[in-house]
Structure 1
Amino acid sequence: MSIYDIVGVPFGYLMRIIYKICGNYPVSIILFTVVANLILLPIRYKNQKGTSRMQLLQPKLDKLKKSYANNPQKLQEEQQKLYQQEGYNPMGSCLPMFLQMFMLFGVIDVIYKPITHILRISRSVREAAVEVASKLIVEGGGKELSFKNLRCELYTMEQLSKTPAKFANLGEDFLDKVSAFNEKFTIFGANLGQTPNLHPEEWTKEALVLCLIPFAAGVAQLISSIYSQLHQKKVNPTMQAGGCMWGMTLVLPLWSIWLAFTFPAGIGFYWICSAIVNFIITFALNQYFTIDRIKAINEKEKAKAKEYAEKHPGKKTFMQKIMEQQAIYDEELNKARVDENGDKISRSEMNKQNRDRIKEARKRMAEKYGDDFDENDKED
């Protein structure tokens, strides 16, 4: 069982409830995307608060970097002092980001597996259906479809819409249920189980709608990316938005357009909804976290940190422990970079020392276990 299956279960129940209420899959995707993002909102709020506080601290951090450019160890110590004074934990945004990514696995699983989460067809019947779809795809010149493929159900629905008779004897009224679902799996007359094609056999209304979905997904992502870049530049004028960064801003939407042409249109439609909802939430959070509000939040966090330090004078924070371990590692590394006279050694000399240590360790192991050891043996 994969992480998608585990996290997808609760979101699957949510999607099923929404679909039962509205009875239309595209509308269900829109509502599901909104609800899922509202569930993730507290996590995104905390993450955005941490990012905004870091932007507030950035000028002070830049000043420290200039002051201790030639003394990395001292720089780390001063940064740690600053974080303690401000009550800021640079690792604090890691957990919210991890939880957000973890929950997104469930969202993706629900979107990719409507037969599992909405129709509740048993695994054995789904496996048989995917096997039938795989044979049809191979006969058409495509690659074999595996049940482990996350998108196997969407491809199965696509094949069923083309040749329904092949799925007639699978049990649990599979053909009737999926065929009925396919009729509601449409937007503007286009079946979302079909894969968009730039060169369809005939330019029908359905072919046009399917073709527009990938481009709409790319445009939605492009708008969101450009807004994020402009906002970052606004709140942090010293940030250097190089050509590489802007290049990625343009390349990623183009890549998503190409990718959307290789998947069933339901995936592209979800990407459109997700990009729009994410843009709205990001815009709202950016409007909420004004400079004045962040300064007020920062003062409260500083007061909390000061109060905690006074109540627990000898207790070290998690970040302090991390920094101490890093300092020990740096000290050991610096020792390894000098010879017996205290002079710095070159990288090639360091590599030779490391090889000698490994060779000596192998020799001791050979002596311990009675194995042969060749003194002239060289490492690859």
Structure 2
Amino acid sequence: MQTIITAIGTVLGAIMRVCYQVVNNYGLAIVLFTLVSKVILLPVSVWVHKNGLKVVRMQPEINRLNIKHFGDKDAIAEGQAALYKREKYNPLASLVPLAIQIVILMGVIEVIYHPLNYLLRMDAECIGAWLAAGQKLGGIDPAASQAQLKLLNLVHSGQGAALAGQVPQAWQSAQSALEGFGTRFLGIDLTWIASEKGAAFLLIPIVTGLSALLLSLVQNKLNPLQHEQNAGMQWGTSLFTVGISLYLGYFVPAGVALYWICSNLFTILQQLLLNRLIDPKKVVDYKALEETRAELDKLKNLGGSGDAKADKQLRRREKADYKRFFSVANKHLVFYSESNGFYKYFGPVLDEIFAR
């Protein structure tokens, strides 16, 4: 697994290094990297957006299938599969952005925990020598995930010369690169981890969580597919997203939190752009969608809709059915099915009985 993460980190680290060389600021490099990654992945986002619009456009037909074959799950599933095939809709496409985000996040975490490898491109032996010096002077554990971050903190605290004196002469020239690699952005050291710094740094996870909440609210409103989900699914997704964001803001370096905040904000801008490029209102017949949804809801509520007039009609119909059923003496048959959709298996037998 670590080999895969290292490979991802190598690719993303190369991109972030270019960003760092352009802006010469660690925080701005993370912001620029996030923007560049969104631009690179824009074709994928357009494809996912179109795929989501397909299922929303098909929803009136799906609703009509549910109305026509109400209670027959097999027939509904068959009809829905045929629709998906006709429209070339891929239900798994909606998972692509999440999968990509996870891969990028893994790479970003790898890069931010190892800036000496990916951004400063220091030799492995050089890094090892400086970490050994940090172990002597600052008690840094070279094997710890935060070792390079703590080394940078030690250098920036004025211990650069003392550390350089503990490394072989061949690696002492790295002192200027380490001292010149600023990790502060908007007054916050991007190597800090909120959980280790106490209550004063809770602003980091709070802002991270708020950015995720804002993204969820905007997506529920503007994303065509998410807009059609029920409130339970929308809020479930929102809580999951906010929870992940709070975790990232609290337990990982602030640099990762900065990436996540920027990613959330850029995703909002991206959704606005996608809706402008491909307007859902020009693709989806929302009038038909609402009409079929209302008809399907009415059918689902027939058992007890809360409408006194409708319930009275159902009771009258039930009474008439009972009367008709028992009107023929000594000829009362009841066929029971354990599940919906089984009629097609014994339909010919029933037809023969009814014909006699």
Same fold (TM over 0.5): yes
- The Cα of 1:104 is off from its aligned counterpart by 4.9
Listed as ranges, the gaps of 5+ residues in structure 2 are: 286-335, 339-356
Give TM-score scaled by structure 1 length. 0.61
- The Cα of 1:111 is off from its aligned counterpart by 3.6
Aligned to 1:193: 191
Aligned to 1:303: none
Secondary structure of the residue that 2:283 maps to in structure 1? helix
Aligned to 1:21: 22
Instruction: Please point out which of 143, 157, 160 is paired with 2:152.
Output: 157
1:49 has 2:40 as partner: no
- The Cα of 1:125 is off from its aligned counterpart by 3.5
Aligned to 2:321: none
- The Cα of 1:46 is off from its aligned counterpart by 0.7
Contact 1:52 1:289 in 2 (8 A): no
Secondary structure of the residue that 2:251 maps to in structure 1? coil
Aligned to 2:177: 177
CA distance in 2, matches of 1:86, 1:100: 27
Secondary structure of the residue that 1:45 maps to in structure 2? helix
Larger Rg: 2
Deviations 1:75-133 (A, max 9, x none): 33212221233343434556676556545544443344321111111223434555666
Aligned to 2:212: 221
- The Cα of 1:252 is off from its aligned counterpart by 4.3
Listed as ranges, the gaps of 5+ residues in structure 1 are: 201-206, 297-342, 346-380
CA distance in 1, matches of 2:62, 2:137: 60
How many pairs align? 282
1:274 has 2:263 as partner: yes
Deviations 1:52-71 (A, max 9, x none): 21122123223324544544
Give TM-score scaled by structure 2 length. 0.64
Secondary structure of the residue that 2:91 maps to in structure 1? coil
Contact 1:217 1:271 in 2 (8 A): yes
Contact 2:31 2:258 in 1 (8 A): no
Aligned to 1:118: 119
Shift in CA distance, 21/57, structure 1 to aligned 2, threshold 3 Å: same
- The Cα of 1:18 is off from its aligned counterpart by 2.1
Which residue type is aligned with residue 211 of structure 2? A
TM-align CA RMSD: 3.8
CA distance in 2, matches of 1:236, 1:195: 33
1:289 has 2:284 as partner: no
CA distance in 2, matches of 1:180, 1:246: 45
Which residue type is aligned with residue 169 of structure 1? Q
Equivalences for residues 1-380 of structure 1 within 5 A: 2-68=3-69, 70-92=71-93, 98=99, 101-127=102-128, 129=130, 146=143, 149=145, 152-162=147-157, 164=160, 165=162, 168-171=165-168, 172-173=171-172, 174-181=174-181, 184-196=182-194, 211-232=202-223, 239-242=229-232, 245-246=234-235, 249-250=238-239, 252-253=241-242, 256-257=245-246, 259-294=248-283
CA distance in 2, matches of 1:109, 1:199: 21
CA distance in 2, matches of 1:96, 1:220: 18
Deviations 1:277-327 (A, max 9, x none): 12211222133331354359xxxxxxxxxxxxxxxxxxxxxxxxxxxxxxx
Higher relative contact order (CA 8 A, sep 6+): 2
CA distance in 1, matches of 2:237, 2:6: 32
Identity of aligned residues (%): 26
Moved more, 274-283 or 284-293: 284-293
